[in-house]
Amino acid sequence: MSSNGHGVRQSRNLANFVRRQQEWLASEQHRRNADFILRSNDGKKFPAHKFLLMAHSPVFAAMLTHDTKEIQQGQCDLLDTDGQCVEVLLDFLYSCGSMGKITVQNAEKVLVMADKYQIDDLCSSCEVVLAGNVAAEKAMHYLILASRHRLPVLKEAALRVIPKNLASLLKGNELEKVCQSDPEVIRLILEHCSKKMRVVEPAPVTAPLVYKVKPNPPPSSSSESDSDY
């Protein structure tokens, strides 16, 4: 078999392996063998596997490798996360990164949860969803979110929208509120606007030319004496 054909076969085998792994991880049978529970703030319990949580989250890795309360109870209470967010989180992990359950409506709160537990892949996926749906009325809010959670893609998307709607922002008191609560956001807006402005260098000012007329020299005394003769 040629090297090219061997490479194609390897790629096909890898794709099949990933597909089977995704199907197995997402199966109900696999969930029944879970060894840990995530409980949301609305009381819902979600079975999960420690190895999967640890593989994707340094926070869970630290929690589940020490003698913590969560290890002793076999459960982690997510006091600031609702059941919908936990469901999106587990669907993302068990489907090997599928974004199927991430929507514009839930992306922000899922992103905040993902950032807290340092699940970077999920955080980036939510950021992409939000960045693709920045409306004028939400642009300032998204810029604040991007500044707080270090989201460069969302920041650029919001900054593309805000300068076009500065007039409406100045009419209300939203800009004043942002100045008080997030002055860094104002700096970002001014910095972005200054980059878009075309600065024209003034022409150098040159001093006017002054021409001096040199007077004729007075006649010499010798010429005067010659004229007398």
Domain ranges (residues) in the chain: 17-100
Q: Which residues of 34-72 are buried (b: 16+ CB within 10 A; e: fewer)?
A: bebebbbeeeeebebbbebbbebbeebbebbeeeeebee
Q: Per residue of the chain (229 residues), give pLDDT as tens.
A: 555 666 677 777 767 766 676 666 666 666 667 899 999 999 999 999 999 999 999 999 999 999 999 999 999 999 999 999 999 999 898 888 888 899 999 999 999 999 999 999 999 999 999 999 998 888 888 988 998 899 999 988 988 888 777 766 666 666 666 666 666 777 777 777 666 655 445 556 565 555 555 666 666 655 555 545 4
Per-residue pLDDT at 2: 54
**Amino acid making up residue 211:** Y
Per-residue pLDDT at 229: 44
Per-residue pLDDT at 115: 96
The SS3 assignment for 37 reads strand
In the chain, helix, strand, coil percent, each to 5? Answer: 65, 5, 30
Phi, psi angles (nearest 5°) of residue 75 = -155, 145
Per-residue pLDDT at 105: 94
CATH superfamily of domain region 17-100: Potassium Channel Kv1.1; Chain A (3.30.710.10)
Handedness of CA 77, 83, 89, 95 (dihedral sign): positive
Instruction: Report the C-alpha gap between 147 and 156 in whole angstroms.
Output: 11
Q: Minimal CA–CA distance to 131: which of 159, 95, 112, 109?
A: 159
Q: Minimal CA–CA distance to 57: which of 29, 76, 83, 80?
A: 76
Per-residue pLDDT at 78: 95
Whether the model pTM is above 0.95: no
Per-residue pLDDT at 53: 94
Handedness of CA 201, 187, 153, 171 (dihedral sign): negative
H or E element at residue 46 = strand 45-48
